[in-house]
Structure 1
Amino acid sequence: MIDDLVDRILAGDDDAAWELEELVEDDPDALRPYLSRLLDADDVYLPEALFRDAGEDVQREAAARVDAGSPNVWLVTMLTATHGPVVEAAFRRWRRQPPPGIDADTLANVLPRYGWDFETDGRAREIRGATAYALVPEDGPASAEEECPWCGGPLWVLLDVDTADPRVASTLAHTGWQGRLRIVACFLCCIYPRVSFAEVTPDGGATWSPRTARPGYLDGKKLEKAAPPPVRLTVGERRPDRYLGGPTLGGEPHWVQDPDYPDCPACGKVMNYVGGVVGTVIREYVDCSFYLFLHAPCGLAAVVTQTT
């Protein structure tokens, strides 16, 4: 089956790429023997998640093609899904000296968008978690005391965890956060902007941030209040794969659209991914996924909403 799909992809069949992603979603190792062949798929958009377990041999081959002058930015976005010293060295090199056919502005836009950031000394900064735990829905209050300044409805507590729990500490280790983390947003209004922000403190403080930009198409419109779903999420068992979808604390975002890592509005650095919430899990017919981010040094959290 995989052989047939790869052949169709190399023949230019776009639909085969999405079929392949669905087929290997729960068993990415099955795709490993085919990744080198897929590098030849110049005319088909391939979801970068297909290469999430690419080994150093495939990373080297893709980087060599970019160094040789391939103008295919897709090879760069594919490498953003991988990890390790080979891809980090390639990105550091290209940031200093862009490869032939790909300009510096393109790299500066692509790398942060796909979740890569670097320290001042050139070291890659880990944006995503190395471990992941399920977030388990249970009946209970999920409303904050504060009201949304746009519609007046109560804010929604998407996440309430504490690093005193070893499971939480391990999943948030890459963020540098210590203490209780509550992330709030308006259940209705967070669907309208690309990203909404909250100000957070290690004692569990969480408040809607005025850094959230109101979209222009909402000017003059009065929004109706929407009560948050009466479902709260608690930390469950460890997931066997940090890439798996569903409500998750830690791991890697399971995007339903293109990757969309937000920049911290205070300092401009790419924010750390801390978890995701699937709308249909907390309320039927909520056709959205909510991606949660944190930039601990600035005390800001973010909720990115994508519709399926």
Structure 2
Amino acid sequence: MWLYLAALLALYILRRWYREQQTVGNLPDKYVFITGCDSGFGHLLAKQLDGRGLRVLAACLTEQGAERLRQATSGRLQTVILDVTCSDSIAAATAWVKGQVGDRGLWGLVNNAGIGVPTAPNEWLSKADFVKVLDVNLIGPIEVTLSLLPLVRRARGRVVNVASAVGRLSVTGGGYCPAKYGVEAFSDSLRREIRAFGVKVSIIEPGAFRTPILDTQCIQKGLAQVWSRTPTEVKEAYGQHYFDYYIENIQKIFSSAGPNLHLVTDAMEHALTAQHPRTRYSCGWDAKLFYLPLSYLPTSWADLVLTRNQSKPAQGV
């Protein structure tokens, strides 16, 4: 009995491995549009795909970021300035992409642009703090996708959305986790709606990696600004000790972030070039062995794990 089950499992793993090794053809004729290419995953992915011969259309927020990328890549790669929070900017980028791809359509769309701050306990934040992150990390990718989807359908291509391990298990306050939960939901509904057109949608779920989003100095500065404008009543309820411990804990978590960004960009590349891409890619050992398993545990167990080292507020029970 157990021998048969082991054999079936081995055959399943072998079949899956074989399917995932198969790649699509004519890569040099395929266009891929990537947002957030100034730095981090987007910058590395643009260089990686350019090295594979694809025609990369890289969207950067700044001209300086675009220039750095052009200097590090071939003449095939083209750049455009894009602010994913601005509808006019998205419309202009969409028109530019149409001019680049023509009747061939857009093979790949990678929604990578994102920000991480402000991140803080929810009660310290304002509506504007949440909106700032949601605009970049959720509403922006949705609008970019809706604008470019006709071109992706024409090519029967791919949509790759960057969510996060914390899009399954919320671990901090602020707009980042809700935005990533939203990316997961949008991607799921989109995948089911457009698979009849031959379009495949993949979700990338990185753990913690050393990118500008997890820059500890930036996060500390953002926390200090949030704390400085937090109402006095709220400050007294939490206490200075809670604030100090929160910063210390954030530093510990982010200092252990993985340095190998290729774990994420390799997953993105596979989602774009494999004949049978995965629906979800969990990237990093923390995502695979901590966040993902913890998300399946009973809520009370997950709460216990995530709050075991949490400082108590000054007026907490």
- Return the TM-score normalized by structure 1: 0.28
Say which structure is richer in strand.
1
| Bigger Rg over Cα | 2
Q: Say which structure, 1 or 2, has more relative contact order (CA 8 Å, 6+ apart).
A: 2
- Return the TM-score normalized by structure 2: 0.28
